[in-house]
A and B are shown apart, each in its own frame.
Chain A
Amino acid sequence: MNDKVLIVEDEAVLSMQIKYELLQMGYSVTGISDTGEKALASIAIEMPDIVLMDITLKGKLNGIETADLIHKQHNIPIIYMTAHSEKGIIEMAKLTSPYGYLLKPVNIKELQITLDVTLYKSKIDKEKTELTGRLLSMTHQQHIILDNASIGISLIRERKFIWLNSKLAEIFGFTREDLEGQNTRILYPSQEAYEEFGKEAYCKLAKGVVCSEEIEMVRRDGSKLWCKYSGKAINSSDLSIGSIWIIEDITYRKQIEEELKRKNEQLEQINKELKEAALKEYRQRLEKEEMLVQQSKMAAMGEMIRAIAHQWKQPLNILGLIVQEIRDSYEYGELDKTQIDTTVNESLKQIHFMSNTIEDFQNFMKPDKEKQLFSVQKAVGEMFSLLSAQMKVNNISYSFTCHIHNKTFPETEECDQECEQCVISSNKNEFKQVILNLLTNSKDAILDRREKGLMKKTDEGNIMIDLYDDYDKIIIEQSDNGGGIPQEHILKVFDTYFTTKGTGKGSGIGLYMSKVIIEQHMGGSIHASNGEYGAVFTVKLPKRYF
């Protein structure tokens, strides 16, 4: 499109000639005005790209006044075209920022160059104006953004606030005006903190890296707060230009962190306490267990001593009788060699029996921690012999039948064969302790039943042990006619300190320890039930348990 030119000239011939020349040059002409007023009216209708202006015009306004109005209203480039070359007029024209000043008579060549240059310059000027406008509007937008950001933003130079957003001022309880131009020192809790942060921060800024720190600051009212600072120099090689700082109030986060830290510490403490409590509990349990083992041993020892007392009574009676008989027969003159021999032999037999009993007891009390191979049949038999006198005194008969060998004790006496089928590997005395406990319980149940009148005093008590072979297990079944265990107690008989015997009679440890020995030490099982006449205890032991 052709660039449009408005000609403002009161000399008609000249204006026609210029119009002609302009058209020749390729411009279009929006009009020719001979007064300033007409020129302004023409511009209002059709905006020219350039105005060629004469200074001397017909109307009230001269060319300079008209140009001034156009310049103010429309920013259209103006080229003066005049015969005036006086200094005063030129000075006046200069104030209207004309693009060119041509002297009449107009040289066409000169006009063309001036028009070209003017158009180019005005185009550049327009672009510049537009860019400036855009820049201003962008700056304005950014200011709005920065000002409304929810984090504090500032430009700091020489540790002074050059610019800051409202949020930053708000964080510290100030207004923007309060802080602008202020030294940042007022936000630090102490001179030391101010100097220390300065050293550290400026060192990083000089390297061109982001300086990020969390430090404690003070508000206007003196209250403390935690801030996160992120700063970067605008130009790291010239720190005097300043640096941009982003500041966040992280007091709440810090509080949560502190809280979390405290909670973690509490949790750790609780964990520690729990661990200690568990350990203590564990130790106490071990101690209690150890104590129970000792108590059960003492109880077993008591039973053994009771058994020995019974066992020894008869041989002691016999020995007493024999000794007195020597004197008696001497007094009656009957003592001879034969009688002495008989007496000595009989005495030795009794002494031997007593020493066997004591040996059994010693063996039983021997602390044998190691496992050994032994015959279940023999161990049960030994326990029965030790208790035989006590059973007899209490009018209790007992029988021990080994169904593996079809033998019944005591008729066949002790079974000395260490037969394969009933050999197990374990702690023999612990096993005997279990048998002793079961037999003692049966005896006590029978005596209790007699005492309560549920059974006649003269009624014979019965205790039976049956030994069976069951593939890879040995089954020991012990039964009596003691009336059995009340159904509500049957599940509790193996509990610690549970006893149905009267005060001072039972400790409630025997069966508990029996269960521990059978299950934990021997890998077997023990079970209580009620038979026709009394309790039945079934012990199952794995053969050759290792």
Chain B
Amino acid sequence: MVTAENVSDKSGWKALFGDELKKNTSILCVEDEAIILEGLKIVLRRRFNKVYTATNGKEGIELFNNNKIDIVITDILMPIMDGLEMASKIKKSSPDTPILILSALNEEPFLKKAAALGLYDYIAKPYCDDDFFEILYRAAFEVHKRKNMAYAASAGIEIAELL
């Protein structure tokens, strides 16, 4: 039986949980470069129903606070509020939310800081390949699992049954 723990095929995630995750996961994508944000939006929309976009950290926080968002994807260098500042604020209010950092090659110093913040993972630009989606799916799966556990706990159902 194929389970989340032994998925070997990267695209296997889609086959396993595709529709379920697509329906139930909401993504916030923060990127100041319009053309990249647009490209990200297109690929994310194919996989997730709810995709919110912002062009700086401040907008991102507002969207995060006003919507139910499961996963955050953010660039680092942005005007007004950078990605790391935004991430640390989100971490404070919602420590479990996976935050993925999009990083360009010259931003290694920021990555150390990102690691210190305990962020989920980082994706090197240019992204959009299978690795990116695997990370994204795994995060989505974990969020999904946590949600179900919380639901099960409140309803008194054995977790194993759900999986």
CB–CB B43/A317 < 8 A: no
Interface string of A377-411 (1 = CB under 8 A from B): 00000000000000011010000000000000000
- CA A329 to CA B44, docked complex, whole Å: 11
Interface string of A335-364 (1 = CB under 8 A from B): 000000000001000000000000000000
- Expressed in whole angstroms, the minimum distance between the Cβ of B130 and any Cβ of chain A is 10
Interface residues of B in 8-37 (CB under 8 A from A): 33, 35-36
- B126 contact from A324, A332, A346, Cβ within 8 A: A324
Interface string of A305-331 (1 = CB under 8 A from B): 000011001101111111011001100
Known contacts A316-B126, A317-B104, A458-B82; decide if A322 and B33 are in contact (CB<8 Å).
Answer: no
Interface of A is mostly: helix
CB–CB A321/B106 < 8 A: no
CB–CB B126/A325 < 8 A: no
- B33 contact from A314, A316, A334, A395, Cβ within 8 A: A314
Known contacts A309-B106, A310-B106, A325-B42; decide if A317 and B125 are in contact (CB<8 Å).
Answer: yes
CB–CB B46/A328 < 8 A: yes
- B105 contact from A313, A314, A319, A346, Cβ within 8 A: A313
Interface string of B58-78 (1 = CB under 8 A from A): 000000000000000000010
CB–CB B85/A321 < 8 A: no
- CA A310 to CA B107, docked complex, whole Å: 11
- B104 contact from A313, A321, A329, A346, Cβ within 8 A: A313
| Residue B129 is within 8 A (CB to CB) of chain A in the complex | yes
CB–CB A318/B36 < 8 A: yes
- CA A320 to CA B43, docked complex, whole Å: 13
Known contacts A313-B104, A313-B105, A321-B126; decide if A395 and B43 are in contact (CB<8 Å).
Answer: no
CB–CB B46/A332 < 8 A: yes
Cβ contacts under 8 Å, B82 to chain A: 458
- CA A332 to CA B45, docked complex, whole Å: 11
CB–CB B43/A328 < 8 A: yes
- Expressed in whole angstroms, the minimum distance between the Cβ of A421 and any Cβ of chain B is 35
CB–CB A325/B128 < 8 A: yes
CB–CB B106/A313 < 8 A: yes
CB–CB B43/A393 < 8 A: no
- CA A310 to CA B77, docked complex, whole Å: 13
- Expressed in whole angstroms, the minimum distance between the Cβ of A9 and any Cβ of chain B is 160
Q: Which residue of B lies closest to A339 (CB)?
A: B42
Cβ contacts under 8 Å, B105 to chain A: 313
Cβ contacts under 8 Å, A321 to chain B: 35-36, 39-40, 126-128
Of B77, B79, B85, B126, the most chain A CB neighbours within 10 A belong to B126
Q: Which residue of A lies closest to B82 (CB)?
A: A458
CB–CB B104/A325 < 8 A: no
Cβ contacts under 8 Å, A458 to chain B: 81-82, 85
Cβ contacts under 8 Å, B85 to chain A: 458
- CA A546 to CA B161, docked complex, whole Å: 88
Q: Which residue of B lies closest to A331 (CB)?
A: B46
Interface string of B107-148 (1 = CB under 8 A from A): 000000000000000000111110000000000000000000
- CA A458 to CA B78, docked complex, whole Å: 10
- CA A542 to CA B113, docked complex, whole Å: 50
Closest 4 CB pairs of A and B: A320-B126, A324-B128, A321-B39, A317-B125
Show 7 residue pairs from A and B whose CB-CB distance is below 8 angstroms, ordered by the A residue: A317-B104, A318-B126, A320-B125, A325-B39, A328-B43, A395-B79, A458-B82
Contact surface of A with B, Cβ cutoff 8 Å: 309-310, 313-314, 316-322, 324-325, 328-329, 332, 334, 346, 392-393, 395, 458
Other A-B pairs beyond A317-B36, A325-B43, A329-B42, 10, CB < 8 Å = A313-B105, A316-B126, A318-B33, A318-B36, A318-B39, A319-B126, A320-B127, A332-B46, A393-B77, A393-B106
